[in-house]
């Protein structure tokens, strides 16, 4: 059975503002979280088009994280290990697929939509009746949810951050009910690892990891508000290209060079649908 969770993450922003903030945060976050030989390597980043969603941006990344995995995962992984991530950003809708070429039964599919509300839309991503039965909903609070000490920085704490440019923050208890503007990131994550004896453990590990990343990334997007607010789309794309080049250089510094441009384990250039 595929483990399906829907995460709802509110932000004291508008959807239009977060279009810029999201791009800035991902580029900077990827650089900060990367180190020699490990981190996020951007393989491709180019415009794309879809008949339904229109123009967007396609990105392929290789996420190198061997030493960051728990020992029981490292035991079944090769020494050189990376996850392939392909994303189609048709903002305010995005589709992301993740898999690993040597574990064909590992699939993660993430559907995201952004709306200007505080997480009140019951079925934002138009899930089927069967999917709704399997779905569990997790409302994340970027200010007051428990947060990993290893990533904590006082200057990135929404309970203390005050924006000079917008006069937003600090966030107080109940902020999602009172603060304006308010938006919500709706993310449905289908995680599947069909290996007997490890399925539940791995799927739970994937969902916990995604939750931690969502909490950290959204906290940073708000705490960095004064650094990206006022940027144009062209500005933030230039920033993105610069940071991706720096990140790739850092990840490839181990001497292995860039990883090959690969399709997913199913050989297609689109996210595997096995997670549906």
The average confidence (pLDDT) of the chain is 86
276 pLDDT higher than 80: no
72 pLDDT higher than 50: no
Q: Which two tokens stand for residue 189?
A: 């994550």
pLDDT recorded at residue 103? 67
Q: Which two tokens stand for residue 195?
A: 């290996």
109 pLDDT higher than 70: yes
Which residue shows structure tokens 């920033």? 239
Q: At what angle do helices 233-251 and 15-33 cross, to 10 degrees?
A: 20
pTM: 0.86
Domains, the chain, ordered by start? 3-252 (3.30.530.20)
Alpha-carbon distance 4 to 110, whole Å? Answer: 10
Alpha-carbon distance 188 to 112, whole Å? Answer: 6
20 pLDDT higher than 80: yes
pLDDT-based confidence at 35, cuts 50/70/90?
Answer: confident
Alpha-carbon distance 238 to 240, whole Å? Answer: 5
Using DSSP's 3-state secondary structure scheme, residue 20 falls into helix
In order, the DSSP letters of 147-210 are: --GGG--GGG-TTT---TTT------TTHHHH-SS-EEEEEEEEEEE--TTTHHHHHHHHHHHH
Mean pLDDT of 196-225: 88
b/e for 161-178, b at 16 or more Cβ within 10 A?
bebeeeebbebeeebbee
70 pLDDT higher than 50: no
For 158-187, write each residue's pLDDT tens digit: 999 999 999 999 999 999 999 999 999 999
pLDDT-based confidence at 63, cuts 50/70/90?
Answer: confident
Using DSSP's 3-state secondary structure scheme, residue 238 falls into helix
Q: Which distant-in-sequence residues (6+ apart) come within 8 Å of 35 by Cβ? A: 250, 251
205 pLDDT higher than 70: yes
pLDDT recorded at residue 275? 31
How buried is 272 (Cβ within 10 angstroms: 0-12 exposed, 13-18 middle, 19+ buried)?
buried
Residue % of the chain over a pLDDT of 90 = 68
Alpha-carbon distance 91 to 96, whole Å? Answer: 12
């Amino acid at each position: 059975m595929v483990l399906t969770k829907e995460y709802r993450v509110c932000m004291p922003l508008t959807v239009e503002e977060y279009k810029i903030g999201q791009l800035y945060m991902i580029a900077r976050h990827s650089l900060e979280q990367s180190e020699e030989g490990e981190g996020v390597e951007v393989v491709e980043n180019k415009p794309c088009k879809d008949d339904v969603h229109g123009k967007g941006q396609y990105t392929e990344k290789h996420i190198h994280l061997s030493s960051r995995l728990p020992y029981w995962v490292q035991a079944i992984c090769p020494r050189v290990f990376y996850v392939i991530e392909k994303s189609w950003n048709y903002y305010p809708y995005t589709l992301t697929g993740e898999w690993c070429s040597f574990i064909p039964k590992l699939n993660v599919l993430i559907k995201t939509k952004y709306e200007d509300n505080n997480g009140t839309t019951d079925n934002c991503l138009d899930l089927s009746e069967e999917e709704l039965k399997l779905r569990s909903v997790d409302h994340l609070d970027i200010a007051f949810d428990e947060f990993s000490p290893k990533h904590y920085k006082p200057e990135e704490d929404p309970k203390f951050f005050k924006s000079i440019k917008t006069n937003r923050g600090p966030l107080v208890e109940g902020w999602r009910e009172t603060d304006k503007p308010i938006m919500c990131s709706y993310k449905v994550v289908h995680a599947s690892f069909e290996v007997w004896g490890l399925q539940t453990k791995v799927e739970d590990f994937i969902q916990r990891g995604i939750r931690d990343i969502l909490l950290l990334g959204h906290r940073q997007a708000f705490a960095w508000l004064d650094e990206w607010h006022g940027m144009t789309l062209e500005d933030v794309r230039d920033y993105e290209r610069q940071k991706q080049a720096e990140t790739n250089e850092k990840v490839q510094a181990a001497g292995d060079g860039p990883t090959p441009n690969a399709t997913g384990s199913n050989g297609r250039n689109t996210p595997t649908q096995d997670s549906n």
